[in-house]
Amino acid sequence: RPRIAISFVYSDVEFEAPYLSEESLSSVESDDCDSGKTKWNCPSFSIRLLLVCAQLLIYYQRFNLSTATLRACYDYCKMHSEK
């Protein structure tokens, strides 16, 4: 059964402009085994879906995606292009 891997990277803003704005991140508090509560910034579901759709469009040749799926990803990206 094939696996799908999704990776997210971080770069210094002085090296490369970020794809996500600070406004697109929300502060989340979670339990950390070592130090108790940890705060970190997490993109909303709509932003994460936007990133996934963009990756599928960029690398569509590697996947056996239907035209309907590609169209849905394209339409979602166009609809959220301001983010």
For helices 45-58 and 67-79, the axis angle rounded to 10 degrees is: 130
The rounded mean pLDDT for the chain is 79
Please give the DSSP secondary-structure letter assigned to residue 32: E
Percent of the chain with pLDDT over 70: 75
Tell me the C-alpha distance between 50 and 81, whole Å: 9
Residue 76 confidence (pLDDT) above 90: yes
**Would you state the structure tokens that stand for residue 68, as one six-digit string?**
């309907």
The SS3 of residue 46 is: helix
- In terms of pLDDT, which residue wins out, 22 or 74? 74
For 21-47, what is each residue's pLDDT tens digit? 777 766 666 555 555 565 666 778 888
Q: How far is CA 76 from CA 26, 51, 57, 65, 80, in A?
A: 21, 10, 11, 16, 6
Instruction: Give pTM, 2 decimals.
Output: 0.62
